[in-house]
Amino acid sequence: MFKSIPVFLIALPVFTGPLRLLHAQVFMTQEEALRSAFPNGERVVRQTLFLTEAQLVDIQKLARSKVESKLVVYYRAALAEKFSGCAFFETVIVRTKPATLMIVVNPDSSLRLVKLLSFYEPQDYLPAPRWLRLFENKFLTAGLWPKRDIHHITGATLSVQALTLAVRRLLATYMIAVPKESRP
């Protein structure tokens, strides 16, 4: 006749599906991130840039990282018409899955903050907020690399590399492509 199938084998797909998604995490939306980056009531305006071939080459040379798109969207913030910074968002592939980060650049071209908005790799590879604070007040210099100004995270080398390269690209984009008249 019929052999009985153990209940746990029937239920296994139901229970393992959600377990595989446990490491995928969205920490905040883009709107929430912008509000946290500019909490003083700054007026934040979305801007779009179309990089020229020369700008693309210069950004890649300065960042020492490949730029994937000539289209750049950033958010310019001003308080009482005084420029207070720019926010950039980028999604990178860490190992095999995406992570989205926001960087905020101060008027003097230093980094105000780096926030991770989403991270789909396993939690073991997730950088802690204190690691992200290593970027604060840094400029795009030769020291803005892992093993220099940016410490490694044991077991998360690919996260460190991917996020550092993204920060370098976005800082270089700010320095080369954001129109000077929209800055102080």
Per-residue pLDDT reduced to its tens digit, 101-160? 999 999 999 999 999 999 998 888 888 888 889 889 999 988 776 666 665 655 556 777
C-alpha 47/C-alpha 29 separation (Å) is: 18
* % of the chain beyond a pLDDT of 70: 78
- Is residue 172 in a domain? yes
What residue spans of 64-156 are helical by DSSP H? 129-132
Q: Domain range for residue 114?
A: 23-182
* Structural domain contains residue 145: yes
Mean pLDDT, to the nearest integer, of 33-38?
94
Residue 155 in any domain: the answer is yes
Overall domain count for the chain: 1
Q: Quick check: is 2 in a domain?
A: no
Q: Is residue 118 part of a domain?
A: yes
25-26 and 82-93: which strand pairing?
A: unpaired
Query: Which residue(s) pair with 43 in the sheet?
Result: 78
Are 42 and 79 in contact by the 8 Å Cβ rule? The answer is yes
**Is position 6 within any domain?**
no
Residue 65 near residue 168 (C-beta atoms within 8 A) = yes
Q: pTM for the full model? A: 0.81
Answer whether residue 11 shows pLDDT above 50: no
* Residue for token pair 């019929």: 2
